[in-house]
Chains A and B, each alone.
Chain A
């Protein structure tokens, strides 16, 4: 097991390096120049452009800049933002937890709501509860994040005014307000996740419920609820777990829009600003972190399989 984890971690490091290098190459390929962004337009002179470029070290070959940035990484130094001059590591530490919080809360919501509803739908197959739940799931899967987010914001934030429309309050400053601000963005993010978890639970349950051992369990007179939760659900959960693992990863992408709509100062908004300002080290650092997270999540998902299904062993 340990050897397996170590091997996967080693693969992860290589993979993260490849992703980071590709992204660094792409961000330099797109047109635009951070020096012009910094200088603005009214007072640009060739001398000043050259001066700023030299000051930021942008006049050196790109592979060299990249190599130095990587060297810094080994010391835990993500470099400084080109536009604000702030150390990127510090900003990452501030922003990463906020994005993770959104993802965790929305994933939690999707499991707490999606799994029971999926079981409900499966056990009432083709009857009214199934129809209602499946309709909700269809809407949830089809509605894009920005539509759900804008709609929720308009209804709860602007028209009814029951929840803060946008913004962020640190938990340390005011826990109650922090949680209030958390509701709309995490529900928005959870809508799609819940729908997917729900559909997967339903179909997986239906499959398992048709298995022989379930019929046997029923035939020997076990309580219907025990069969449903004790026998069927446990086996139906494996594909659901896979989906949740993938969902957490794609939620990292979903946060780009959610953070924009709700002005949530997380990692994604940092990335978007970085791209807009051609702040190369910021983009590189954020993508590196996201890639690492994604790969780590996949590993965790695989490990959780073994916990849920004792037949699965890694060696």
Chain B
């Protein structure tokens, strides 16, 4: 497979590209991808482009839903922390407007026909914030750091698929995989796959206290719980960018306080706008909402060793019992959609439309199946959830009512988040409500959730040979049509076994001042990576 650079700067991967439904991956730069993309702000962004040229200068205050617990770019510590890390560090490839992959530190790459060798041509003239030049050695050092078990990198498993990293010359790096993996490029686009400086790592500087990357903004200072300040990287390799002089991140952990600060004008951007406040933000003439669909989903996860959930028929019965529309309406104020079929989102080439409607809200059918499973008189169970996040608690309450309506005695256990994390990790629960987001656009995101041995499967004791086989087949098959067939079988099997009940997708949005231009919310689950577009954000002076 070859990639070529086109005169307009976009890149095409030719021949049977298994990364895209068009059999041709356009890794776009600039507005071409924006026009093709889904973000709701695109129209406004284009209107702004017509209004005038971007103006450099100015500060931006960003209200974050959490204070980053650490600064190490290889260790994921939540979406809020990632927002900051993405602006300081760079990845080989990145998600850009429309959720498309865009070359970043790597200008282009070639993938061998067997899908095992990736050769990257690195962008020349890139420097780290400390002035050191960016070379193939930095890529090698970064990937090897992520593979090192002692580091605890979030992508350790994924990076360990790479058997060898060879720095062929200053600007060429070759990765060799043990087996083909269609999601490899996407792994390298994750913010957690940041490229760090070899010199910085060798010097033994603690990456938790300072940050040295190649991104559009440099790290200035940080006081935990108060603020993290970034400044314009004057030596950024994309000339003329970024526009903003400074970005000041202020943690606002309480969602109501965050919205108040936005409404009061104290902050320019707020992430994680609560669904109850989205209308208020939209109606405010000084504010706008950057919104994306199918960003994350709510689900019920069963501990499949705990009776009665060791019986697939019972789990399947319960999948009919949840009133998904009620959850979308009551918890997300209508800003979401129900999932009655598989988990692969509707925007994906691999979405299985024929499975939609498998689990409609049908309490009568649920009771039938329960009777068939020998539980005509119901049973007593305890549902684990957290009182710390409203969407979890409210979804759990609706689920509880739904189950009581079909004769199941369902008790709620509501703890703070730390306790819930402990209980679920140790597997001490019967079933639980969860909110998650696919890490990848590629359907291989399912591996993380359902492969036996994954963290989720371990904590719910789920393992199924056929699912494992299909997941492995899905990630080693290169032909897209063949992959689609595999994922159809896989999702059919998942729905039949129902280790999880999928409930609903939710929208995700940031609120920002009307005057801020250039910021875009990326579609789907890439919405959590929207902060990269702050690179092209500007405000009229």
Contacts and interface: CB of A to CB of B under 8 A. Distances in A.
Residue from B76, B417, B421 having most chain A Cβ neighbours under 10 A:
B421
A30 B224 contact: no
Interface stretch (B1-9, B162-170, B173-181, B251-259): B251-259
A165 B416 contact: no
A261 B254 contact: yes
A40 B120 CA distance: 32
Interface string A148-182: 00100110011001001111100000000000000
B264 A165 contact: yes
A83 interface: yes
A157 B422 contact: no
B69 A276 contact: no
Contacts of B422: 31-33, 36
A265 interface: yes
Interface stretch (B151-159, B487-495, B507-515): B151-159
B421 A41 contact: yes
Given A38-B69, A86-B224, A167-B250, A32 B425 contact: no
Interface in B238-268: 250-254, 256-257, 260-261, 263-267
A159 to B, nearest CB: 9
Given A31-B419, A166-B257, A270-B225, A44 B425 contact: yes
A210 B371 CA distance: 81
Contacts of B206: 85
A269 interface: yes
A152 to B, nearest CB: 11
Contacts of B419: 30-32
A164 B69 contact: no
B155 to A, nearest CB: 8
A115 B172 CA distance: 77
Nearest to B264: A165
A74 interface: no
A263 B250 contact: yes
Residue from A47, A52, A165 having most chain B Cβ neighbours under 10 A:
A165
B349 to A, nearest CB: 24
B418 A277 contact: yes
A33 B260 contact: no
B273 to A, nearest CB: 15
B484 interface: no
A38 B422 CA distance: 11
B489 to A, nearest CB: 25
Given A42-B455, A43-B156, A91 B416 contact: no
Interface string A33-68: 110111111111101110110000000000000000
Given A83-B70, A276-B416, A37 B264 contact: no
Interface in A1-51: 30-34, 36-45, 47-49, 51
Interface in B251-303: 251-254, 256-257, 260-261, 263-267
A260 interface: yes
Contacts of B208: 84-85
B77 A166 contact: no
B150 interface: yes
Given A36-B418, A43-B154, A166-B266, A273 B67 contact: yes
Contacts of A86: 209, 224
Contact of B423 (A31, A158, A165): A31
Contacts of B265: 161, 165
Nearest to A84: B224
Interface in B69-88: 69-70, 76-78
B264 A161 contact: yes
A262 interface: yes
Interface in A256-278: 260-263, 265, 269-270, 273, 276-278
Given A42-B76, A43-B154, A263-B252, A165 B421 contact: no
B252 A166 contact: yes
Interface residues of A, number: 50
B78 to A, nearest CB: 7
A167 B261 contact: yes
Contacts of B78: 40
B223 interface: yes
A94 interface: yes
B69 A165 contact: no
A72 B523 CA distance: 50
Interface string B216-252: 0000000111100000000000000000000000111
A158 B264 contact: yes
A153 B156 contact: no
Which bucket holds chain B's interface residue count? 35 or more
Given A32-B421, A43-B156, A165-B260, A265 B226 contact: yes
A278 B418 contact: yes
Contacts of A277: 69, 418
A40 B260 contact: no
A86 B68 CA distance: 13
A37 B421 CA distance: 7
Contacts of B77: 40
B425 A166 contact: no
Contact of A43 (B70, B416, B455): B455
B448 interface: yes
A302 to B, nearest CB: 35
A51 B152 CA distance: 9
Contacts of B224: 81, 84, 86, 91
Contact of B257 (A45, A83, A260): A260
B455 A165 contact: no
Given A39-B152, A277-B418, A84 B70 contact: yes
A48 B419 CA distance: 19
A168 B226 contact: yes
Contacts of B263: 158, 165
Interface in B386-423: 388, 415-419, 421-423
A153 to B, nearest CB: 6
B424 interface: yes
A29 to B, nearest CB: 12
Contact of B261 (A91, A154, A263): A263
Residue from B76, B149, B154, B254 having most chain A Cβ neighbours under 10 A:
B254
A298 to B, nearest CB: 29
A48 B152 contact: yes
A81 B209 CA distance: 13
A81 to B, nearest CB: 8
Nearest to A154: B260
Given A84-B70, A265-B225, A166 B264 contact: yes
Nearest to A81: B224
A259 to B, nearest CB: 10
Contacts of A38: 69
Given A32-B416, A261-B254, A94 B223 contact: yes
Given A33-B422, A84-B69, A42 B154 contact: yes
Contact of B455 (A44, A167, A263): A44
Given A43-B156, A276-B416, 13 more contacts: A40-B154, A41-B424, A42-B448, A43-B76, A84-B70, A166-B266, A262-B257, A265-B223, A265-B226, A269-B225, A273-B67, A276-B388, A276-B418
Closest 7 pairs (CB-CB, A-B)? A165-B264, A32-B418, A265-B226, A157-B264, A31-B419, A166-B261, A32-B419
11 contacts: A31-B419, A32-B419, A32-B422, A37-B421, A51-B152, A81-B224, A85-B70, A86-B224, A94-B226, A154-B260, A165-B263
